[in-house]
Structure 1
Amino acid sequence: MKIIRTKDYEDMSRKAAGVIAAQVVLKPDSILGLATGSTPIGAYKQLIAWGRAGDLDFSEIRTFNLDEYRGLTRDNDQSYFYFMRHNFMDGAGIPVERTDIPDGSEPDAERECARYDAAIRAAGGIDLQLLGMGHNGHIGFNEPADEFPKGTHCVDLTASTIEANKRFFASEADVPRQAYTMGIQTIMSARKVLVAVSGEDKADIVYKAFFGPVTPLVPASILQMHPDVIVVADEAALSRCKL
C-alpha cells in the first residue's frame, strides 16, 4: 500500500486525478471503476479540465460505478446515474453506452446484481477502482458486517450512512434505505485501487482501516490485502497516522 500525503482537499483532488490520468494515458481503453459522493468531485473536475485542454482522451474508456440507490430512477436528481452524468461523464464526453451503473429502478435485486457482475466480467474486469470511504469504513455501500460480501448485492443502509447522506435530500425520510453495490470481492479483483480521503472527521477511520486489524467490521481494512493500492489523503485525514 502506498500512501500519498497531501496538503488539503484541492491538493488531494489533483493528485488523485493524476493517478487516474496516468492510467488512461498508459491504457487508453481502460476499464475504470468510479465512485460518487463529495470526495471525488474535485478529481472529476480536474480530469474534465485536462480533457478539455487536450491532455487526456476519454473516448476509449469504459466505466462501472460502485453503487446506486435502490428505488431511484436514473432521471432522479439524487440518483448516482444523474450524479455521474452531471459531475463527470458529460463534461468528459463519455457517452452513456460506455458507462454502466446498477439500475436502481430494477425491483428484482437478484437479477440486477447478477447482470452487473456479468457485465464487469464480460468487460475483462476493472483496471483501476476509485474509492471513497465512509465514517464507518464502508467502501461502496459495503457496510460493517460479520463477513465480507463477495459480488454485487442489495444492502440495507446503516443509520450512520443515512445520516451522512441526508444532506443531499430534502429530508432524512427521503433517503433510500437500500442500495445496490459492488461486493468486496469485485472491488478486490480490480488490478489497481485508488482511495481518496479528506478531512479530520475521517482521521479515526483512516487509522483503523489502514493500520488496524483486517476485519469486516471495518470494510475498507480488506484493502490492506490488495497488491496495488494507492491512498491519497490530506493531512487532516492522516492526522492520527505516523508515516
Structure 2
Amino acid sequence: MEVIILPSSKEVGALAADAIEDLVRSKPTAVLGLATGSSPLPIYDELARRHDEAGLSFTQVHGFALDEYVGLPAGHFESYREVIRREFTNRVDVAAENVHGPDGTAADILGACHAYEEAIKAAGGVDLQILGVGTNGHIGFNEPGSSLASRTRIKTLAEQTRQDNSRFFDSIDQVPHHVVTQGLGTIMDARHVVLVAVGAGKAQAIRDFVEGPVSAACPASVLQFHPHVTIVIDEAAATRLAGADSYRHAFGNKPAWQGL
C-alpha cells in the first residue's frame, strides 16, 4: 500500500488522473472502475480537461460503476448512472454502451447482481478501480460488518451513510435505504486500486484502514491485502496518520520510473 499526501484536492485529482491517463494511453481498451461521491470529482474534471485539451481518448474504454441506489427510477438525477454520465462519461468520448452500472430497478435483484459480476469478467476484469472512502470506513457501499470476500449484492445503508449522502437530496427522507454494490471481493479483483480522499472529515477513516487492523468493522482495511493500492489524500485527511512523515519521505524519494 502506497500512501501519497498532497497539498490540495486539485493535486490529488491530477495525480490520480496521471495513473488513469498512463493506463489508457498504454492500453486503449482499459476497464475502469468508476466511483461517485465528492472525492473522485477532481479526477473526472482533470480527465475531461485532458480529453478537451490534450486529446486523451476513451473511445475503447469500458467503465463499471461501483454501486447504485435501489428504488430510484431510471434517469433520476441522483442515480449513480446519471451521476457518472454527468460528471465524467458525457464529458469525454467513451461510448455510451461501454458504461455499465448495477441495476437498482431490477425485479430480480439477485439475478442482476450475478449478471453484473459476469459482465465485469466478460470485459476482462477491472484494470484500475477508483475509490473514495466513507467516514465509517466503507468502500463502495460495503458498510461495516461486510464480508471481506463479498461479491456484488444488495446492502442496507448505515444511518451515518444516509446522513452523509443526504446533502445530495432535498432531505434525508429521500435517501434510499438500500443499494446494490460491488462487494469487497469484487473490488479486490481489480488490478490497481486508487483511493482518493480529502478533508479532515476523512482523517479518522484513513487512519483506521491504513494503519489499523484488518477487520470487517472497517471494510476499507481489506485493501491492506491488495498487491497494488495507491492512497492519494490531502494534508487535512492525513492529520491522524502516525506514519505521515514516512509516507512523505517514501514518495519524495520514489524513483521516477516506478510510476504509480
TM range (shorter): over 0.9
Question: Does 2:31 correspond to 1:31?
Answer: yes
Structure 2: distance between partners of 1:185 and 1:115: 16
Structure 1: distance between partners of 2:176 and 2:198: 25
Name the SS of the counterpart of 2:155 in structure 1. Answer: strand
Name the SS of the counterpart of 1:237 in structure 2. Answer: helix
Structure 2: distance between partners of 1:217 and 1:149: 14
Runs of 4+ in 1 over 2 A off after TM superposition: 146-149
2:234 is matched with 234
Answer with 142-151 or 83-92: which moved more: 142-151
* Residues 89-238 of structure 1: pairs in structure 2 closer than 5 A: 89-145=89-145, 147-238=147-238
Give 1:16 shift: 1.4
Contact 1:2 1:230 in 2 (8 A): yes
Contact 1:139 1:219 in 2 (8 A): yes
Letter in 1 for 2:137: G
Give 1:118 shift: 0.7
Letter in 2 for 1:63: G
Structure 2: distance between partners of 1:240 and 1:172: 30
Structure 1: distance between partners of 2:109 and 2:149: 15
Change (3 A) 1:23 1:172: same
Give 5+ residue unaligned stretches, structure 1. Answer: none
1:85 is matched with 85
Give 1:159 shift: 0.3
1:75 is matched with 75
Identity rate of aligned residues, in percent? 40
Aligned residues: CA RMSD: 1.0
Change (3 A) 1:55 1:146: closer
Change (3 A) 1:146 1:36: closer
Give 1:149 shift: 4.7
TM-score, normalised to structure 2's length?
Answer: 0.91
Letter in 1 for 2:168: F
TM-score, normalised to structure 1's length?
Answer: 0.97
Structure 1: distance between partners of 2:147 and 2:180: 17
Q: For residues 181-238 of structure 1, what are the alpha-carbon distances to aligned partners after superposition, in whole Å with 9 as ceiling and x for unaligned?
A: 0001110010000000100111111011010000011000000000000111001101
Give 5+ residue unaligned stretches, structure 2. Answer: 245-260
Letter in 2 for 1:190: A
The aligned length equals: 243
